[in-house]
């Protein structure tokens, strides 16, 4: 077990976005989070990555509570994410975007940068090398020197994944990585997710594409109206009456 949520709730004023959600994520598994629009999935991601703080409950990562830690600290200890609405650094080049991801794994400060010390040169070289490898891994290395905003939608999503991987995370949180993609692109992305799993990473995945979720996830948690209504392996979830009700409505008797 690498990540554990204990009775996590989040209220926005009077609105309860999440109520007492608990689940565990095991090391090196792909855990999917599904639920209808507005169920609270992205809120859950924001809580885990420190963008929001829970109103109550605890989030435990590797035996240590991470509630109240700032987002950049969480990245440092091994959580990285992508965004539902792509948030790349548009004016920077594709390569620079990935190199920003390596910031947290590098040290050269103002002084080293100012004098281009041997240490800074070596580190920059390593970061660049690693970033190129990652671009190659997600399949957009031929765009390395393009401005990031010039990339197509699907490639921007891949860039976000490469940037997140550059932070060398233990857990990768992907927020609707296939949104707006066609079928071929979705299939390619599934392969990519499986390759990332082979690398030894743990993946937390939000998606609407059920085919993708059923084929790629080891386990799933289902959220509806801020509550977890089911958790288990894909085949269990598919036959769970509460899940069917949430997605299709109550069966007429």
Partner 1 sequence: MDFILNPYYLQIVMFMAINAVLGISIYLTLSTGQLSLGNAGFMSIGAYVSALLTIKAGAPILVSVLCGGVAAGCMALLIGLPVIRLQGIYLAIATLGFGEVVRVIVLNLKITNGALGISGIPSMAVIFGKQLSEVGLSSGMGGLTLQQIANLLVLLVLIAVVAVLVFFCIRVHNSRVGRALAAIKADEKAAEVMGIDVTYYKILMFCLGAVVAAIAGGLAAHLTFYIGPKDFAYHRAVEILLFAVLGGSDVVWGPLLGAFLLTALPEVLRFAAEYREMIYGAILVVMMAFRPQGLLSTQTLRYIKEKLGRSRVNDTSTQPG
The H or E element containing residue 224 is strand 219-224
Phi/psi at 94 (nearest 5 deg)?
A: -60, -45
Counting Cβ atoms within 10 Å, is residue 102 exposed (0-12), middle (13-18) or buried (19+)? Answer: buried
Pick from 71, 139, 232, 234 the residue near partner 1 by CB under 8 A: 71
Binding mask 163-202 for partner 1 (x = CB under 8 A): xx--x-----------------------------------
3-state helix, strand, coil in the chain (%, to 5): 45, 25, 30
Is residue 75 a contact point for partner 1 (CB under 8 A)?
yes
Identify the helix (H) or strand (E) that includes residue 22: strand 15-25
Residues in Cβ contact with 242 at an 8 Å cutoff, skipping those fewer than 6 apart? 222, 229, 230
Measured CA distances, 217 to 33, 100, 129, 171 (Å): 9, 29, 31, 14
60 is an interface residue for partner 1 by CB under 8 A = no
Q: Judged by CB under 8 A, does residue 144 bind partner 1? A: no
Contact 49, 74 (CB under 8 A): yes
DSSP string, 158-186: HHHHHHHHHT--SEEEEESTTTT--HHHH
**Considering beta carbons, is residue 19 or 104 the nearer one to partner 1?**
104
Residue 140 beta carbon to partner 1: minimum distance, rounded to whole angstroms: 18
Phi/psi zone of residue 232: left (φ > 0), alpha (ψ -120 to 50 degrees), beta?
left
Q: How far is the CB of 111 from partner 1 (least distance, A)?
A: 10
Minimal distance in Å, beta carbon 244 to partner 1? Answer: 35
Stretch in the footprint of partner 1 (CB under 8 A) among 6-14, 20-28, 80-88, 210-218: 80-88
The mark string for 81-100 relative to partner 1 (x by CB under 8 A, - otherwise) is: x-x---xxxxxx---x--xx
Minimum distance, C-beta of residue 223 to partner 1, in the bound complex (Å): 21
Judged by beta carbon, residue 81 or residue 190, the one nearer partner 1 is 81
Residues 103-142 within binding reach of partner 1 (CB under 8 A): 103-104, 106, 108-110, 112-116, 120, 123-124, 127
In this structure, what token pair is assigned to residue 239?
Answer: 């036959």
Interface with partner 1 (CB under 8 A): 49, 51, 70-72, 75-76, 80-81, 83, 87-92, 96, 99-101, 103-104, 106, 108-110, 112-116, 120, 123-124, 127, 163-164, 167
């Amino acid at each position: 077990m690498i990540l554990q949520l204990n009775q996590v709730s989040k209220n926005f004023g009077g609105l309860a976005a999440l109520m007492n959600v608990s689940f565990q994520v095991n090391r090196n598994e792909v855990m999917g989070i599904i639920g209808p629009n507005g169920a609270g999935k992205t809120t859950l991601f924001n809580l885990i990555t420190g963008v929001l703080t829970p109103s109550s409950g605890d989030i435990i990562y590797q035996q240590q509570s991470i509630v109240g830690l700032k987002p950049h600290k969480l990245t440092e200890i091994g959580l990285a994410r992508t965004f539902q609405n792509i948030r790349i650094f548009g004016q920077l080049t594709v390569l620079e975007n990935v190199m920003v991801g390596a910031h947290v794994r590098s040290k050269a400060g103002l002084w080293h940068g100012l004098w281009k010390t041997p240490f800074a040169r070596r580190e920059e070289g390593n970061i660049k090398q690693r970033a190129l490898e990652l671009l190659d891994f997600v399949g957009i290395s031929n765009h390395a020197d393009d401005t990031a905003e010039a990339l197509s939608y699907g490639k921007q999503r891949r860039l976000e994944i490469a940037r997140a991987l550059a932070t060398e995370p233990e857990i990768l949180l992907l927020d609707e990585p296939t949104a707006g993609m066609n079928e071929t692109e979705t299939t390619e992305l599934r392969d990519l997710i499986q390759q990332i799993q082979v690398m030894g990473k743990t993946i937390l995945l939000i998606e609407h594409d059920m085919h993708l979720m059923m084929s790629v996830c080891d386990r799933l948690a289902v959220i509806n109206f801020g509550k977890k209504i089911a958790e288990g392996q894909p085949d269990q979830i598919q036959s769970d009456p509460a899940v069917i009700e949430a997605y299709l409505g109550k069966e007429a008797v």
